[in-house]
């Protein structure tokens, strides 16, 4: 295990967690459709209790994703999470609103009223995926930061802070880039697609399932338009590459070259696209088919994983700086020490056991489809 192998290995692990997180955003997607999908008060309670069984999976994966980034690529963590903190604080705030809303929406003594917490869930369902997608888009579009490692060795200006944001917006400036918004909106509509597919599969209610097919078409069309538009932009735009000396240069069609050079990832990407299109198409065409969440979920992971890897592998700067090109972050200049990565490698061998437990817990929760009788139980949201 060379140092370079460990860098690429942990990039793969972090990207896999990111891909799983995008799939689990079906919770946010379903909550954003809670009024149109549930329609009646009883229907909205069914949707709420369906997503309420899974929201902790999404939140835990988000935290694990951030923790893995911190341990393996600490310079990215300090630069993005520390510099663009307004963007990340808004994301985390919406997820905190989600957790509070599930617990207190229908509790006795709720002085804000159920409607307030319902709107909090809708806010998280819209802003969460939109801003997370925008944060991921900066891997390709760049962010406005400066890294000054000399602060650690320059006696005259010694400072433990080596990365800083180049303006006072602290991450919100990324939303002024129209392509960041395009990608963020694509993720938001993808979450809605996944949320509708999940509720149609998980809730045993004909009214919700019949409305789901119509709502699915309304979410799938803008998602496909936005995703294809951004993919074309990505393949035609300049990218950021680094040489053996670590010097970063702007390279025309860099991401197109990554798609060609890393062709096994491209095959996975195309397979994922086919699975997502199959799930959407069959669910819309067939009234009896309710299992679309599974091919769509697998497809999303197969699409997002290669996309994230192509932002970093093949000597690509995965977090470009628009303020100072040489401050851009790469696998080589932002990772932890070889000892840390090697130690974490052995710890990561426990991940399959954790995944097995998640699958077991998921199957136990979904052993019986959710129906109106479930709303009479004591443990409901």
Structure confidence by residue, pLDDT tens digits, 76-124? 888 888 788 888 899 889 888 888 888 787 776 676 777 888 888 899 9
Cα–Cα dist 316/353, whole Å: 32
Is the CA virtual torsion 216, 218, 224, 227 positive or negative? Answer: negative
Q: How does the average pLDDT of the chain come out, rounded?
A: 88
Res. 125: pLDDT tops 70? yes
Mean pLDDT of 206-230: 91
pLDDT at 82: 79
* Residue 127 to residues 29, 44, 48, Cα–Cα distance (Å): 10, 20, 18
Determine what percent of the chain is predicted with pLDDT higher than 90. 49
Question: What is residue 145's three-state secondary structure?
Answer: strand
Contact predicate 340/14, CB 8 Å: no
Task: Provide DSSP, 8-43.
Answer: HHHHHHHHHHHHHHHHHTHHHHHHHTHHHHH-SHHH
Residue 82 vs residues 66, 68, 85, 161: alpha-carbon distances, Å: 12, 16, 5, 10
**C-alpha to C-alpha distance for 30 and 196, rounded to whole angstroms:** 6
Residue 171, sorted as left (phi over 0), alpha (psi -120 to 50) or beta, turns out to be left
- d(C-alpha 173, C-alpha 188), whole Å: 19
- pTM: predicted TM-score of the whole model, two decimal places: 0.91
Alpha helices in the chain (DSSP H): 3-24, 26-32, 34-38, 41-52, 55-72, 74-76, 82-83, 85-104, 114-141, 178-202, 206-236, 254-261, 263-285, 293-310, 331-334, 338-348, 351-365
Q: What is the DSSP letter of 247?
A: -
**What's the pLDDT at 365?**
78
**Closest to 369 (Cα-Cα) out of 297, 290, 311:** 290
What pLDDT, on a 0 to 100 scale, did the predictor assign at position 159?
57
Q: How far apart are CA 207 and CA 38, in angstroms?
A: 8
Cβ atoms of residues 324 and 257 within 8 Å? no
Instruction: Using pLDDT thresholds of 50, 70 and 90, give the confidence band for residue 167.
Output: confident
Answer whether 78's CB lies under 8 Å from 146's CB: no
**pLDDT range class, residue 281, cuts 50, 70, 90:** very high
Q: Name the least confident of 14-28, 139-153, 222-236.
A: 139-153
């Amino acid at each position: 295990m060379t140092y370079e192998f460990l860098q690429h290995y942990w990039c793969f692990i972090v990207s896999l967690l990111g891909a799983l997180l995008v799939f689990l955003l079906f919770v946010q997607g379903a909550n954003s459709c809670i009024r149109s999908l549930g329609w009646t008060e009883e229907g909205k309670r069914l949707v709420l209790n369906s997503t309420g069984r899974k929201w902790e999976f999404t939140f835990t994966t988000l935290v694990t994703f951030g923790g893995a980034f911190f341990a393996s690529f600490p310079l990215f963590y300090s630069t993005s999470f520390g510099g663009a903190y307004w963007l990340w604080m808004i994301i985390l705030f919406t997820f905190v609103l989600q957790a509070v809303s599930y617990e207190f929406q229908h509790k006795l003594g709720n002085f804000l009223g159920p409607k307030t917490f319902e709107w909090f869930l809708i806010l998280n369902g819209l802003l969460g995926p939109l801003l997370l997608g925008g944060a991921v888009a900066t891997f390709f579009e760049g962010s406005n930061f400066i890294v000054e490692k000399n602060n650690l060795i320059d006696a005259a200006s010694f400072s433990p802070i080596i990365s800083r944001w180049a303006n006072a917006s602290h991450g919100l400036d990324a939303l002024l880039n129209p392509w960041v918004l395009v990608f963020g909106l694509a993720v938001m509509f993808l979450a809605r697609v996944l949320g509708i597919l999940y509720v149609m599969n998980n809730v045993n209610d004909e009214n919700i399932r019949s409305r789901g097919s119509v709502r699915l078409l309304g979410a799938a069309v803008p998602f496909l338009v936005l995703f294809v538009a951004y993919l074309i932009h990505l393949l035609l735009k300049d990218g950021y590459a680094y040489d053996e000396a670590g010097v970063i240069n702007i390279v025309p069609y860099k991401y197109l070259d990554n798609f060609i050079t890393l062709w096994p990832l491209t095959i996975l990407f195309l397979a994922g696209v086919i699975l997502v299109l199959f799930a959407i198409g069959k669910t819309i065409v067939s009234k009896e088919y309710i299992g679309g969440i599974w091919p769509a979920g697998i497809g999303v992971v197969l699409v997002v994983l290669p996309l994230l890897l192509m932002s970093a592998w093949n000597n690509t700067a995965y977090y470009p700086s628009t303020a100072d090109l040489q401050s851009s972050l790469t696998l080589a200049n932002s990772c932890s020490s070889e000892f840390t990565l090697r130690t974490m490698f052995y710890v990561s061998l426990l991940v399959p056991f954790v995944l097995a437990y998640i699958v077991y817990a998921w199957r136990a929760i979904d052993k019986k489809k959710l129906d109106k009788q479930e709303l009479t139980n004591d443990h409901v949201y």
